[in-house]
Structure 1
Amino acid sequence: MTIAAACSLAALPVEAAAPETSTDPLMTMPRIDAPIALMVDVGSGRVLYARDPHRRFVPASITKIMTSYVAFDLVSKGKLRLDQKIPIRKETFRKWRNVGSTMFLPAEAQPTVAELIEGIVTVSANDACVVLAEGATGSVEGFTTLMNEAAAKLGMLDSHFNTPNGWMDEGQTYVSAADLATLSSALMTRFPELYRRFYGHAEMTWGGITQPNHNPLYGFVAGADGVKTGFTNEAGYGFVGSAQRNGRRLVMVLGGYDRPIDRTNQSRAFIEWGFAAWDSSRIFAKGTQVGTAIVQGGEAREVPLVAPHDLGVTVPRGARPNYTVSIRYKGPLKAPIRKGETVASLLVRVPGEPVHVLPLAAGVEVARGGVMARLRDGTMGLVGL
């Protein structure tokens, strides 16, 4: 059952006035030659620009965003420790030694999970991806199973992962721009501390070797902190980029460039356009309780729903927002519930646009209740509560 709980919204803003004056953002948009292009304002969920966003393409090293997502999930659940050392299998060393981008892991090394994630995120280390996958689940196949399970839970309908590093596999690994925007937004909002720890680094030194991060935004775009470049002859030059300014975050996806210089110049101009041509009006600040949801089988009967990050509505610069909001969740929610777990959605309706669906998280942990909790739920159910 889906419950639309508009009446339970806390501090609900009054519907904003209709736009007074506005300009068409597309009039100032820079030239973008990439056959696939997408920009999303994470705080509002609004798509600022889209060109073939559901077209499937080969991601190359952009795959490593999902690799880090799965790693962050395992760490957050206590199934991996950042200080855990992982030995390198002899066959893995032989197969991935100096293949593409690498950490130059020696055969006898036992890097920590944190070092491997840093290598994956910052210098796109192919060897680190395989070592992490095998150390976390026992095999590459086991890890890619987790990657595909995570993709399914996120609703990534046009993606499939066959490798943890995006190495050429005759098209068995594929993604879409829309799916990559969904994945990147989830990476940042569900694991904010791990994201800040590992992403946004301009270079990495390991084993006495310093290597740069090839993110074209770093050092040129204010607030840039992610996400991942990718290249193979099969895929061309792709990029998922992100920047945050004054609490507002933009994510862009560009795929299929023939030349890296075009990817570099156009990605910088594209994200600057996103900040300059659009304004964001905040609806709820991060951590604000938006409403409550009913819980079944828990020590508590209800759980507060909070904004996991700033939630807002995005409009062309000079326009005033016009929107209504409501809460939706499949209920009642079933205990146990982890604090910070995404359990509901905020629906933002703007005239003339698709409904924007933003995440709402559990504000507290709700443990599974005992016999008395079940009796309480049964009694309240009998009277329709």
Structure 2
Amino acid sequence: MAIVRAPATRDRREGAKRLRALLLALLVLAVPGAAWPVDAGLPSGRLSPVPPEQVGAVPVSLLADMGSGQVLHAHNADLHFAPASMTKVMTAYLAFELIARGKLLPEQHLIVSPETAAEWNGKGTSMYLRAGESVSVDMLLHGLATASANDAAIVLAEGFAGDVPSWTGLMNAEARRLGMNDSHFNTPNGWPDNGKTYVTATDLVKLSKALITRHPALYHRYFGRKRFEWHGAVLQSHDPTVGIVRGADGIKTGYTREAGYNFLGSAERRGRRLVMVIGGAESGAQRAKASRELLEWGYSAWKARPLFAARAPIGEARVQGGQAGAVPLVADSPVYAAIPQAGGEAISLRIVYDGPLVAPIAVGAEVGQLEIRVGDGEAGHVPLYAGRAVREAGPLDRLRNGLMNLIP
């Protein structure tokens, strides 16, 4: 396995940062004896799989592979559009973060204000919450995730933050932390607001990855359910894939006249998870067909090529001022490349980090990315973490490291 160090370059935005890129390997999955240079296009005559025709009929569509970070299909992935009730995924994610930080408890009860009950009881999809009613955070999350209850999202927002603007401020702060730089949230539930709330498919995939990977237990508790009971009534999910597409477990539909029919979906089969977005479909039937076909295509037209086991050393990054001159880099889950079932594509890998890293470095700290490119497709990115801690160097460590750096 060849390792090539690329020359450092300046980051245009920050000016002072240097980019180190290590070419790890070129894995050729083609006919025996054939090989192509790094970052070359596909072999002559080889094309990436073509998505189903129904998928191309919707204004926005995207399919991403979470294990490799690769985008398998994208159409208008960076176009702003109204998410409608998919907004509730960000409300749920914020609630999950607050629960993880100990600032919100599932068993905690919130009181429905008279104003909220008057405005939101029965408005769109609803839990029909009454003024003065005490509702647990757990039930509110079930209501917004499964039944898409608008009043549940408002009660959760007001109960924690005091008012809706304060809650949406927290939503937007979390969005920025996730790198959702082309999205903005003005409501907790996605009710029409003259375009003030907007997202992109690319940003929704970022949100989905964080929702599922950071909070797997909460995700599986609240999402992927077909129904739940509330005050003797059975509230149904509108998810077009759960129970129909094998492995489908969410995430959220959305519909308003302004937005059309939307869906943010996910499925997992044998440890391989796909995330997809459909935006602006003309009907619920079109949304359902496109969603199901896109997920099935992701599994039938593409296969996983294992690259690295979870926590296995992938490479290393240089360290400045540490008791060691380098730190091993690992991924926290198995890494693979998504390749067409027909094969024939070259896989190129690069480790990218701003370096050298500066000690001390904590074990598990995110310090770089593994870039995965199949053929001439868009590169996917997998976070890389420090495989062990690196302490600050003492005098003897600095002397030893300095001498080692003199060795070619």
Q: Structure 1's 383 and 335: CA in aligned 2 closer, same or farther, altered over 3 A?
A: closer
Report if aligned partners of 2:260, 2:282 keep a CA contact under 8 Å in 1: yes
Q: What is the alpha-carbon distance in structure 2 between the residues aligned to residue 132 and residue 378 of structure 1?
A: 56
Identity of aligned residues (%): 41
Matches within 5 A, 1:216-295: 216-288=240-312, 290=314
Match 1:73 to one of 65, 76, 97:
97
User: Which residue is equivalent to 1:62?
Assistant: 86
User: Which residue is equivalent to 1:198?
Assistant: 222
Q: Structure 1's 108 and 50: CA in aligned 2 closer, same or farther, altered over 3 A?
A: same
User: Which residue is equivalent to 1:47?
Assistant: 71
Deviations 1:10-53 (A, max 9, x none): xx7x6322423996454463422211111111111221111111
Question: Is 2:379 the partner of 1:355?
Answer: yes
Question: Is 2:47 the partner of 1:31?
Answer: no
Q: Structure 1's 303 and 91: CA in aligned 2 closer, same or farther, altered over 3 A?
A: farther
Return the letter of the residue paired with 1:19: A
Question: Is 2:182 the partner of 1:158?
Answer: yes
How many aligned residue pairs are there?
Answer: 373
Q: What is the alpha-carbon distance in structure 2 between the residues aligned to residue 90 and residue 301 of structure 1?
A: 63
Deviations 1:357-380 (A, max 9, x none): 21235668x8xx9xxx77859985
Q: What is the alpha-carbon distance in structure 1 between the residues aligned to residue 219 and residue 146 of structure 2?
A: 12
User: Which residue is equivalent to 2:20?
Assistant: 4
Specify the SS of the correspondent of 2:369: strand
Q: Structure 1's 28 and 231: CA in aligned 2 closer, same or farther, altered over 3 A?
A: closer
Specify the SS of the correspondent of 1:31: helix
Deviations 1:165-224 (A, max 9, x none): 001111100011111122112211222222122211111112222111110001210000
- How far the C-alpha of 1:274 sits from its partner, in A, is 1.3
- How far the C-alpha of 1:106 sits from its partner, in A, is 2.6
Question: Is 2:155 the partner of 1:121?
Answer: no
Q: What is the alpha-carbon distance in structure 1 between the residues aligned to residue 50 and residue 309 of structure 2?
A: 31
Q: Structure 1's 347 and 94: CA in aligned 2 closer, same or farther, altered over 3 A?
A: same
Greater gyration radius:
2
Specify the SS of the correspondent of 2:95: helix
Report if aligned partners of 1:257, 1:263 keep a CA contact under 8 Å in 2: yes
User: Which residue is equivalent to 2:342?
Assistant: 318
Report if aligned partners of 2:345, 2:375 keep a CA contact under 8 Å in 1: no
Q: TM-score if structure 2 supplies the norm length? A: 0.80
Match 1:143 to one of 167, 172, 178:
167
User: Which residue is equivalent to 2:3?
Assistant: none
- How far the C-alpha of 1:139 sits from its partner, in A, is 2.1
- How far the C-alpha of 1:383 sits from its partner, in A, is 6.3
Deviations 1:301-352 (A, max 9, x none): 998754233322111112155334343344647889696x755322224442
Specify the SS of the correspondent of 2:217: helix
Specify the SS of the correspondent of 1:67: helix
Q: TM-score if structure 1 supplies the norm length? A: 0.85
User: Which residue is equivalent to 2:28?
Assistant: 17
Q: Structure 1's 66 and 342: CA in aligned 2 closer, same or farther, altered over 3 A?
A: farther
- How far the C-alpha of 1:240 sits from its partner, in A, is 1.0
Q: What is the alpha-carbon distance in structure 2 between the residues aligned to residue 99 and residue 378 of structure 1?
A: 70
Deviations 1:231-275 (A, max 9, x none): 011111111111111111111111111211111122112211111
Report if aligned partners of 2:70, 2:381 keep a CA contact under 8 Å in 1: no
Match 2:112 to one of 72, 88, 94:
88
Specify the SS of the correspondent of 1:16: strand
Return the letter of the residue paired with 2:175: A
Q: What is the alpha-carbon distance in structure 2 between the residues aligned to residue 23 and residue 179 of structure 1?
A: 30
Question: Is 2:200 the partner of 1:176?
Answer: yes
Return the letter of the residue paired with 2:222: F
Report if aligned partners of 1:86, 1:111 keep a CA contact under 8 Å in 2: yes
Return the letter of the residue paired with 1:319: G
Q: What is the alpha-carbon distance in structure 1 between the residues aligned to residue 48 and residue 346 of structure 2?
A: 17
Q: 25-34 vs 373-382, which deviates more? A: 373-382
- Structure 2 gaps of 5+ residues are 1-16, 32-42
Report if aligned partners of 1:189, 1:308 keep a CA contact under 8 Å in 2: no
Aligned-residue CA RMSD (Å): 3.3
User: Which residue is equivalent to 2:14?
Assistant: none
